[in-house]
Amino acid sequence: MKNILLIHTGGTISMKEDETTGEVKPGEKNPIVDLIKDVPDINIISTELFYLPSPHITPKEMLQIKTYIEEMMEKQTLDGIVITHGTDTLEETAFFLDVTLTLPIPIVITGAMRSSNELGADGLYNLLSALKVATSTNAKDMGVLVVMNDEIHTAKNVTKTHTSNIATFQSPQYGPIGIVNRGGAFFHHKPVINQPLHVAALNKNVLLLKAFAGMDDTLLQKIGNHQLDGLVIEALGQGNLPPMMLPSLKKLLNKGVPIVLVSRCFNGIVQDVYGYEGGGRHLKELGMIFSNGLNGQKARLKLMIALETTTDRKKLEEIFST
């Protein structure tokens, strides 16, 4: 019998729909706890670490999950870990854990798009699928995995693509690395696993901006007047920005604030191709750091974590190149 640590954190998977108003919100108790008491051949060690809607989750809670997992690993023998989580920030928590943990057992995150008493509720099914993956020996050394709607995705590539569809979690450009069915978990790809980044506290202020046509440096002037440790910009195309942004960006770079560029496109990576003012090559020459395929929200977390141990631009470039 395998020991599986089941960590509940809240989210739609733990909520109910009000039959009168149709409102979905947390109740006095997480209903999924009573639905998943006995699973054959699995000893579930269940805990409700907190009970939060996912928009209430911050990097502090993500660090709390990481610390709790490490503490439990020291206390007892575990064969796998499953985390239930709200879907709005699920990909960020999954990525945070993927970047900061390296464990010899599967770590799986799942959630639901429909609350427990809605017609077609998907929470219990997704949780059972996650348990199948967590007990699979083939799921070891895969990094943190996201299991939703019969699919297995990597934390690095998965993102929420639809506001309400149960097939919302997709990995643009790459696709899932496996599937789940009645027979268990089956993998057809193996992700590249990088060395974890050490983090014991989170004290850095890192912001995320999205570029748009005609954007000037008004926002950058405002944030430049406050304590800013790092900045991530979802740039246009392959990594280009409107030239009106450059005066304030140069000031931030001169102050030593690292600026990471990702693309607002969900396929492809940023590259130093265009040499015009505000083009990728020009921005690279100014000292901006190019990320290798992350979306904005994940790049922000990675920069926040990396800045706890280094502010060296070359080291940051190396971290974001993998």
Catalytic: 58? no
Residues forming CATH 3.40.50.40 domain(s) in the chain: 206-320
Kindly report, residue by residue over 279-309, the tens digit of the pLDDT. Answer: 999 999 999 999 999 999 999 999 999 999 9
Average pLDDT, stretch 9-37? Answer: 72
Average pLDDT, stretch 127-132? Answer: 96
Residue 13 pLDDT: 83
Residue 176 pLDDT: 98
| Span 206-320 CATH architecture | 3-Layer(aba) Sandwich (3.40)
Kindly report, residue by residue over 243-275, the tens digit of the pLDDT. Answer: 999 999 999 999 999 999 999 999 999 999 999
Residues forming CATH 3.40.50.1170 domain(s) in the chain: 2-187
Q: What angle do CA 210, 199, 229 make, to 5 degrees?
A: 40
Cβ neighbors of 3 (< 8 A, separation 6 or more) are: 43, 45, 76, 77, 78, 79, 80
pLDDT confidence band for 34 (50 / 70 / 90): low
Average pLDDT, stretch 85-107? Answer: 97
pLDDT confidence band for 116 (50 / 70 / 90): confident
Kindly report, residue by residue over 149-176, the tens digit of the pLDDT. Answer: 999 999 999 999 999 999 999 999 999 9
How crowded is the C-beta side of 173, counted as CA atoms within 13 Å? 12
Kindly report, residue by residue over 201-239, the tens digit of the pLDDT. Answer: 999 999 999 999 999 999 999 987 889 999 999 999 999
Residue 27 pLDDT: 65
| Span 2-187 CATH architecture | 3-Layer(aba) Sandwich (3.40)
- Stated pTM of the model: 0.94
Kindly report, residue by residue over 58-73, the tens digit of the pLDDT. Answer: 999 999 999 999 999 9
Q: Which of 12, 87, 89, 110 is catalytic?
A: 12
Q: Which amino acid type is present at position 102?
A: T
pLDDT confidence band for 57 (50 / 70 / 90): very high
Alpha helices in 11-58 (DSSP H): 32-35
Angle between helices 296-306 and 90-100 in degrees, nearest 10: 40
Residue 20 pLDDT: 63
Average pLDDT, stretch 124-153? Answer: 96
Give the chain's radius of gyration (CA, Å): 21
Q: Report phi then psi at 233, rounded to 5.
A: -120, 125
pLDDT confidence band for 31 (50 / 70 / 90): low
Mean pLDDT across the chain: 93
| CA dist., res. 219 & res. 241, Å (int) | 14
